Amino acid sequence: MLWTTALLLSPLLGILILTFLPRESKRLLQTVGVLVALVPLVLALLMYAQFDRDAEAMQFDGSVPWFAIPIPGGMGQGFVFEYTVGVDGLSMALILLTAIVSFVVVLAAVHLAERVKAFLMLLFLLEAGLLGTFVSLNLLLFFLFFELVIVAMYFLISFWGFRERESAGIQFLLYNGIGSLILLLALIVLLLHTGTLDFLQLQSMLGNEQYRTMAGLGDPLRWGVLLAILAAFAVKLPVVPLHTWMIRVNQEAHPAVVMLESGLVLKIGGYGMMRLGVGLFPDLMASLGSLLAILGLVNLFYGGFLALVQQDLRRVLAYASVSHMGIVLLGLAAMNASGWQGVIFQLVSHGLLSPLLFYILLIIYLRTGTTRLDELGGLIRVMPVLSGVFLAAAMGYLGLPLMSGFVSEFLTFHGLFDRLPGFAAVGVLGMILTAAYLLRAMQGITFGPLIPRLQEGGVNDVRVLEFIPAIALLALVLLLGVIPSVLGDPLQNTLQSLLLRLGG
What mean pLDDT is predicted for residues 62-84? 79
Confidence band of 472 (pLDDT split at 50, 70, 90): very high
What mean pLDDT is predicted for residues 85-110? 95
Read off the pLDDT of residues 126-141 as tens digits, 9 standing for 90 and up.
999 999 999 999 999 9
Read off the pLDDT of residues 330-359 as tens digits, 9 standing for 90 and up.
999 999 999 999 999 999 999 999 999 999
Is there a contact between 447 and 385 (Cβ–Cβ < 8 Å)?
no
Per-residue pLDDT at 235 exceeds 80: yes
C-alpha–C-alpha distance, residues 148 and 344, integer Å = 23
**Highest mean pLDDT out of 35-49, 68-82, 443-457:** 35-49
The predicted structure's pLDDT at residue 432: 87
- Domain range for 356 is 2-502
Q: Alpha carbon 34 to chain centroid distance?
A: 22
What mean pLDDT is predicted for residues 410-423? 95
Dihedral, 42, 45, 51, 56 alpha carbons, nearest 10: 110
C-alpha–C-alpha distance, residues 474 and 390, integer Å = 10
What residues pair up with 65 in beta bridges, in sequence order? Answer: 82
Per-residue pLDDT at 69 exceeds 90: no
Q: Alpha carbon 369 to chain centroid distance?
A: 28
The CB density around residue 429, as the number of other CB atoms within 10 Å, is: 11
Per-residue pLDDT at 412 exceeds 90: yes
The predicted structure's pLDDT at residue 374: 85
Read off the pLDDT of residues 256-305 as tens digits, 9 standing for 90 and up.
999 999 999 999 999 999 999 999 999 999 999 999 999 999 999 999 99
More confident site: 381 or 328? 328
Per-residue pLDDT at 504 exceeds 60: no
Per-residue pLDDT at 455 exceeds 90: no
More confident site: 449 or 316? 316
The predicted structure's pLDDT at residue 442: 86
Per-residue pLDDT at 63 exceeds 70: yes
CB contact set of 234 (below 8 Å; sequence gap of 6+): 179, 242, 269
Per-residue pLDDT at 503 exceeds 70: no
What mean pLDDT is predicted for residues 73-96? 85
Confidence band of 211 (pLDDT split at 50, 70, 90): confident
Per-residue pLDDT at 496 exceeds 60: yes
**Residue 241 preceded by cis peptide, ω within 30:** yes
The phi and psi torsions of 396 (rounded to 5 degrees) equal -65, -40
The predicted structure's pLDDT at residue 263: 95
The predicted structure's pLDDT at residue 36: 96
Total domains in the chain come to 1
Per-residue pLDDT at 74 exceeds 60: no
Q: End-to-end distance of the chain based on CA atoms, in angstroms?
A: 31
Confidence band of 150 (pLDDT split at 50, 70, 90): very high
The predicted structure's pLDDT at residue 129: 97
Q: Alpha carbon 492 to chain centroid distance?
A: 21
The CB density around residue 2, as the number of other CB atoms within 10 Å, is: 8
C-alpha–C-alpha distance, residues 182 and 175, integer Å = 11
Exposure string over 146-183, b if 16+ CB within 10 A, otherwise e: bbbbbebbbbbbbbbbeeebeebbebbbebbeebbebb
The phi and psi torsions of 486 (rounded to 5 degrees) equal -55, -40
Picking from 66-80, 345-359, 428-442, 476-490, which range would have the lowest pLDDT averaged per residue? 66-80
C-alpha–C-alpha distance, residues 428 and 297, integer Å = 10
Please, what is the average pLDDT of the chain? 92
The predicted structure's pLDDT at residue 33: 95
C-alpha–C-alpha distance, residues 503 and 282, integer Å = 9
Per-residue pLDDT at 425 exceeds 90: yes
**Highest mean pLDDT out of 74-83, 229-238, 456-465:** 229-238
What mean pLDDT is predicted for residues 4-26? 93
The predicted structure's pLDDT at residue 456: 62
Confidence band of 75 (pLDDT split at 50, 70, 90): low
Percent of the chain with pLDDT over 70: 97
Question: How does DSSP assign 228-257, residue by residue?
Answer: HHHHHHHHHTTPTTTTHHHHHHHHHB-HHH
Per-residue pLDDT at 115 exceeds 60: yes
State how far the alpha carbon of 142 is from the alpha carbons of 19, 46, 207, 417, in Å: 26, 23, 21, 34
**Which of 122, 72, 75 lies closest to 102, judged by CA?**
122
